[in-house]
A and B are shown apart, each in its own frame.
Chain A
Amino acid sequence: MSELSKAERMKLPRQAMPEQKPDIRKVNFKEVPHGYTPEQAMAEASRCIECKKPKCIAGCPVEVDIPGFIRLVMDGKFAEASRKIKETNSLPAICGRVCPQEEQCEVVCTLAKKFTPVAIGNLERFVADYERDNNLTELPEIAPPTGKKVAIVGSGPAGLTVAGDLIKLGHQVTIFEALHKPGGVLVYGIPEFRLPKEIVKAEVDYLKQMGVEVKTSHIVGKLDTIDELFDQDYDAIFIGTGAGLPNFMRIPGENLNGVYSANEYLTRSNLMKAYDFPNADTPIARGKNVAVLGGGNTAMDAVRTALRLGAENAYIIYRRSQVEMPARAAEIHHAEEEGIQFLLLTNPVRFIGNGEGRVERMECIRMELGEPDDSGRCRPVPIEGSNFEIEVDTVVVAIGNSSNPLVPRTTPGMDTNKWGNILVNEETMESSRPGVFAGGDIVTGGATVILAAGAGKKAARAIHEYVMNKE
């Protein structure tokens, strides 16, 4: 294809991602997109005009060498392309699937202005899958042992990235994870139909092969504190415990049966496989009329899970309008295709029980958009007297999470802000406790996988320096 001129290449149509049809996929938990074929990937790659000053790189939080890896795809060197990405992003199979590309690398692609941007995410996903599925994953060279020990608390994308980078540098690395499976939100939150758990498992297995020790069912702050880990001769500690504490609406009836936090609903379905009840032991309500409150990725995941669990009506209830929804555009689109009903500019006021402790109805109020607030988004204001009720038997509250206070509370001298996020030096990710580093959602509040992974990269560099300069 390289015989085409730049101008011609730009005009090639973007390769559509083949995916399961909406009416088929809405009743199964299998991944929605099938992924590119090698031919499609090469065709898509040939659209990249290899800009001299590639804006896409600047749009990526970890500055993946995008034209560099795409050139390798064009040449059919898929595994090499994957390795190229891994120089800066160790989780391409995951980021290719879940990054909000439309706000990051793709939105700034030169082609975006006049045509459609290069499908960077789809290509990233393709090469990483190709490398893994064809057993082309090579173990990197591991530096000679340094004799230094690093503890990592939490196995989400931040913790996994730190572990991968530090083990390569010859340090001894142990990950402590509270749950029985490693992966953080990637395993308990994001559903199988968006991110197959096998992929997360492959990433963790890869780390284990390199020598990372993973201790699950081990809660730092309960079983041992940060200070006690130092007593066990760890030279440095990374905290990547995420933003796991669910927020509630604080409105009447919220403790009725059938009202879930998104974390509970998704954990039951994903981590505990409740969709397979009674073959799996953990139950989940299979609601007929399910309302999910919120407009982020979490809300989309919950509402699409409800549909797959058999809901006849699955609603998104969001207090602003669609343009303000923080969820990824692709996921809102998928949800619409599957028949999710969007009740926008609507806010719940109270939940009403059936007299036996179970939610039966929900009272809502309509909203209108007022002046922009601190976040720059228009502030929703209730319209007096516009209250109405809808019938629901299951409600999922997906209005965000706060940080889990367990580690900060048991670590004297570690400073946090008023939301409980750990304060760090932005260059080194070191907290106010020397030798204790932190990154990901526990520092930023709920953000994205790639930002957590990027923070992990930064922290790993600083931890390496710190432990090597220690006496």
Chain B
Amino acid sequence: MVKVLEHYHLGENNYKIVFEVPELVKKAQPGQFVVLRISEEGERIPMSIGDMDPEKGSLTVIYQVIGKTTALMATLKPGEHIMDCVGPLGNPSHVDKKGKYMVIGGGIGIAPVHPAAKKARENGNEVFGIIGARTKDLLFFEDEMRKACDHLYVCTDDGSYGEKGFVTDVLKRLIDEGNKPDFILAIGPVPMMKAVCATSKPYDIETWVSVNPIMIDGTGMCGACRVSVGGITKFGCVDGPDFDGHLLDFDELTSRLRMYHQMEKESMEQFEKKQPCYIGLKESSKKSA
């Protein structure tokens, strides 16, 4: 059993939850992830590490409610427990010295680029950060990212905060202004990562992305997490989650993520019938994080 230390609603469907996992955070590196199981009959769901505090023994996950398990997670109160939190899984992100190191975080992907940015800066990089979301309410970690990066650029699709436009618009502008990065780590929705790779490719900028295929064990046992990289099948959980974005088959990833859409809808509908107001947290603990 793993204790929930803190839990906040961030905006729309986004939440920040903090778990007490002292042994795990001692080992965790930026770019790694954990697999959570909320209830006894529950699914195992992978979540990126958004932040960690080895002193407090705490691990932060930023998540979006999109289905039954994340909706159930949103009902948890500080002091309550989940069944398991296993990890740290996957390989750490490349955060060694590159020179101009850029992180791009889109939506929920802002969370995992945050620890990578911190570490890359510690390693002597000049860190550029671009964070973006659809709208102002979906942005988070701005202060944290400002601390973690040498330069931070914020944008929203609808212009409700920061620059109006996509993260790729900012990336293109920075390149045109002579700030071509030596390395990009881009994490966010699949279409965003694909767009970043399309933008960086002509400039030949090494670009890595973090994949989020459907997973079960996260240890290389099931092969559910297969992705194609340069035409070769890799396991997202043990060979990744970060891969060279210029080699990754994004369309296959998108298609594989759709595998259970119909059944997931069914599961969510059943859950909502049983528990119509799971978003209790939304009202009670709206805080900025």
Q: Does A434 contact B (CB under 8 A)?
A: no
Of the listed stretches B6-14, B52-60, B83-91, B183-191, chain A binds B83-91
Given A255-B256, A281-B68, A406-B220, A272:B43 Cβ within 8 A: yes
Q: Which residue of A lies closest to B264 (CB)?
A: A283
B91 vs chain A, min Cβ distance (A) = 10
B200 vs chain A, min Cβ distance (A) = 25
Picked from A222, A272, A276, A285, the residue with its CB within 8 Å of the CB of B89 is A222
Instruction: Indicate the member of A217, A246, A406 with the most B CB atoms within 10 Å.
Output: A217
Q: Which residue of B lies closest to A273 (CB)?
A: B41
Q: Does A230 contact B (CB under 8 A)?
A: no
Q: Does B217 contact A (CB under 8 A)?
A: yes
Question: Quick check: B86 and A272 within 8 Å, CB to CB?
Answer: no
Question: Quick check: B221 and A222 within 8 Å, CB to CB?
Answer: no
Complex alpha-carbon distance, A261 and B68, angstroms = 25
Chain A contacts for B263, CB-based, 8 A: 277-278, 283
Question: Quick check: A356 and B255 within 8 Å, CB to CB?
Answer: yes
Q: Does B44 contact A (CB under 8 A)?
A: yes
Q: Does A254 contact B (CB under 8 A)?
A: yes
B226 vs chain A, min Cβ distance (A) = 5
Chain A contacts for B227, CB-based, 8 A: 255
Question: Quick check: B220 and A245 within 8 Å, CB to CB?
Answer: yes
Chain A contacts for B42, CB-based, 8 A: 281
Given A222-B87, A222-B88, A282-B43, A255:B226 Cβ within 8 A: yes
Q: Does B99 contact A (CB under 8 A)?
A: no
Q: Does A206 contact B (CB under 8 A)?
A: no
Question: Quick check: A180 and B222 within 8 Å, CB to CB?
Answer: no
Q: Which of A221-239 contact B (CB under 8 A)?
A: 222-224
Complex alpha-carbon distance, A278 and B263, angstroms = 8
Question: Quick check: A180 and B266 within 8 Å, CB to CB?
Answer: no
Question: Quick check: A179 and B217 within 8 Å, CB to CB?
Answer: yes
Question: Quick check: B223 and A246 within 8 Å, CB to CB?
Answer: yes
Question: Quick check: B86 and A357 within 8 Å, CB to CB?
Answer: no
Instruction: Indicate the member of A178, A273, A276 with the most B CB atoms within 10 Å.
Output: A178
B30 vs chain A, min Cβ distance (A) = 15
Question: Quick check: A264 and B224 within 8 Å, CB to CB?
Answer: yes
Q: Does A280 contact B (CB under 8 A)?
A: yes
Question: Quick check: B27 and A223 within 8 Å, CB to CB?
Answer: yes
Question: Quick check: B223 and A264 within 8 Å, CB to CB?
Answer: yes
Picked from A276, A279, A404, the residue with its CB within 8 Å of the CB of B220 is A404
Proximity string of chain B (99-117) to chain A, C-beta cutoff 8 Å, 1 when within and 0 when not: 0000000000000000000
Complex alpha-carbon distance, A426 and B263, angstroms = 49
B66 vs chain A, min Cβ distance (A) = 13
Proximity string of chain B (232-264) to chain A, C-beta cutoff 8 Å, 1 when within and 0 when not: 010000100000000000001001101110011
Q: Which of B71-97 contact A (CB under 8 A)?
A: 83-89
Picked from B89, B222, B266, the residue with its CB within 8 Å of the CB of A246 is B222
Complex alpha-carbon distance, A268 and B263, angstroms = 14
Q: Does A122 contact B (CB under 8 A)?
A: no
Proximity string of chain A (263-294) to chain B, C-beta cutoff 8 Å, 1 when within and 0 when not: 11001100011001111111101000000000
Q: Which of A202-249 contact B (CB under 8 A)?
A: 216-219, 222-224, 244-246, 248
Question: Quick check: A404 and B219 within 8 Å, CB to CB?
Answer: yes
Complex alpha-carbon distance, A230 and B4, angstroms = 31
Complex alpha-carbon distance, A322 and B47, angstroms = 45
Picked from B27, B68, B216, B233, the residue with its CB within 8 Å of the CB of A268 is B216
Complex alpha-carbon distance, A244 and B264, angstroms = 27
Question: Quick check: B41 and A255 within 8 Å, CB to CB?
Answer: no
Question: Quick check: B221 and A263 within 8 Å, CB to CB?
Answer: yes
Q: Does B228 contact A (CB under 8 A)?
A: yes
Complex alpha-carbon distance, A267 and B258, angstroms = 20
Given A180-B86, A255-B226, A264:B255 Cβ within 8 A: no
Chain B contacts for A178, CB-based, 8 A: 86, 217, 219
Complex alpha-carbon distance, A285 and B23, angstroms = 36
Picked from A179, A217, A222, A357, the residue with its CB within 8 Å of the CB of B256 is A357
Q: Which residue of A lies closest to B228 (CB)?
A: A255
Q: Which 6 A-B pairs have the closest CB atoms?
A: A357-B255, A264-B222, A281-B43, A283-B263, A261-B223, A217-B86
A residues at B contact (CB < 8 Å) = 178-180, 188, 216-219, 222-224, 244-246, 248, 250, 254-255, 257-258, 260-261, 263-264, 267-268, 272-273, 276-283, 285, 356-357, 404-406
Question: Mind listing 30 A-B residue pairs with CB under 8 Å?
Answer: A179-B217, A188-B221, A216-B84, A217-B85, A218-B86, A219-B219, A222-B27, A223-B24, A244-B221, A246-B221, A246-B222, A246-B223, A250-B233, A255-B227, A257-B256, A258-B259, A260-B223, A267-B221, A267-B222, A273-B41, A277-B263, A278-B266, A281-B39, A281-B43, A285-B259, A357-B252, A404-B219, A405-B220, A406-B219, A406-B220
Given A257-B258, A264-B223; 18 other pairs, CB 8 A cutoff:
A178-B217, A178-B219, A179-B217, A180-B86, A217-B37, A219-B89, A222-B87, A222-B88, A261-B223, A263-B223, A264-B222, A264-B224, A267-B216, A272-B44, A280-B41, A281-B43, A283-B264, A356-B255
